[in-house]
Amino acid sequence: MAAAAGNVKGVQLSQAIVRTAAGWLLGLMLAAAGAIVCINLVSSSVASPQQPVREYLDALQKGEGEQALGLLRAKVPSANAAMLDGTALQTAASKLSDIKLGNAESRGSNRVAVPMDYTLDGNRLHTEFLMERTGTQWLFFGKWAFVPTTLPTIEVTVVNSSEAALNGVPVNMPNGHNTFAVFYPGKYEATLNGTYFEAPPTSALVSTRDGGQAPLNLQTRSTKALNEAVAGKVREFLDTCAAQATEQQRLQPDCPFYHVSNARVVDGTIKWEITEYPKITIEPFGGKWVVAPLNGKARVSAREINLFTGLVNDLNVEHDFSFTTQLDTDNNTVTVTPMLTF
């Protein structure tokens, strides 16, 4: 009986050991499986080629140009850097939405392309970021970085102005032209909103490092404020001229208008008035702003004596007139100088 009991205890002990070993083996297998899952998760997220792209896009949208430039490993070309940080950069990336990063595609030599489909200012676009494996981190995970590149540029021109705004930021435009380094993808909009001169906004969507964008050409025009200021000065000049001609009783005053008569005018009866004021058109010409020739009408009335018959007649004649001016604008000052020939 004692021997049988010993055998039973031995069998029970062996079964316990087997169960323990099986438990340990199952635990190891689960741990290994968990490790594999964790490795795959990390490899497809924080250690993936897409992760630097995510970080780069985040830096763009926060306006952190230094961070974005470091991640992109990009060289800044010889161009104006006003768009590479802060509000200008945030504005460029603010229209990005519906971003979808695709699976990395092999390009050989430890390089992959990360495709990105997205919407930029309502336009569905596609961009590929070229990445390269630069090493290993934490034993198992690849370390990825952008293949070094050079930032694209956009050119901006503006008619007859030395300043403009790009993405809401005032920028200098020497001789009406400047070139700006930009990040991609992004929208860049040029405008001119001055007191006396303005230009309708024009924009470009930059989606690749190659750029290739047409220049942003700002077609400057005079503002309503400038047209009204010039019109006011022209009216003032003509009204003053008509008043002086009346006061001086002259048929041929130093004005754009005059009257020729062979009759003798009765003293004190001459009166001039402007019946139609010129319409104002301001245009660029030869690097300056000029007022198009001004055309209007003036009426002269008087009593005149016919030298042959002695009869007294009423004079009431409307004359067309035309003249040119020189326009000068300085800060908030508008000067209009009539150019008269006699």
Triad 81, 82, 88: Cα angle to 5°? 130
Mean residue pLDDT of the chain comes to: 88
**Residue 146 C-beta-side C-alpha neighbours within 13 Å:** 22
Instruction: Name which of 299, 328, 331 is nearest 315 in CA terms.
Output: 299
The amino acid at residue 79 is A
Whether the pLDDT of residue 4 is over 80: the answer is no
pLDDT value, residue 40: 43
Q: How many CB atoms lie within 10 A of CB 270?
A: 22
Q: Regarding predicted confidence, which is higher, 215 or 30?
A: 215
The answer to whether 103 and 128 are in contact (CB under 8 A) is: no
| 22 — pLDDT class (breaks 50, 70, 90) | low
Mean per-residue pLDDT for 275-280?
98
Whether the pLDDT of residue 43 is over 50: the answer is no
The amino acid at residue 255 is C
Q: ω into residue 185 within 30 of 0, thus cis?
A: yes
pLDDT value, residue 190: 97
The model carries a pTM of 0.77
165 three-state secondary structure:
strand
Q: Is the dihedral of CA 95, 100, 105, 111 positive or negative?
A: positive
Domain at 50-75+82-149: CATH code: 3.10.450
Gyration radius from the chain CA atoms: 41
Q: Where in the chain are the domains?
A: 50-75+82-149, 153-221, 224-339
| 212 — pLDDT class (breaks 50, 70, 90) | low
Whether the pLDDT of residue 29 is over 70: the answer is no
| 138 — pLDDT class (breaks 50, 70, 90) | low
Whether the pLDDT of residue 137 is over 90: the answer is no
Phi and psi at 340, nearest 5°, equal -110, 145
- Reply yes or no on domain 153-221 having CATH 2.60.40.1120: yes
Please give the Cα distance from 298 to 252 (Å, whole number). Answer: 12
Region of poorest pLDDT, from 41-45, 175-179, 201-205: 41-45
Triad 101, 131, 213: Cα angle to 5°? 75
66 three-state secondary structure:
helix
pLDDT value, residue 142: 75
Extract the tokens encoding 16. Answer: 């316990």
pLDDT value, residue 9: 57
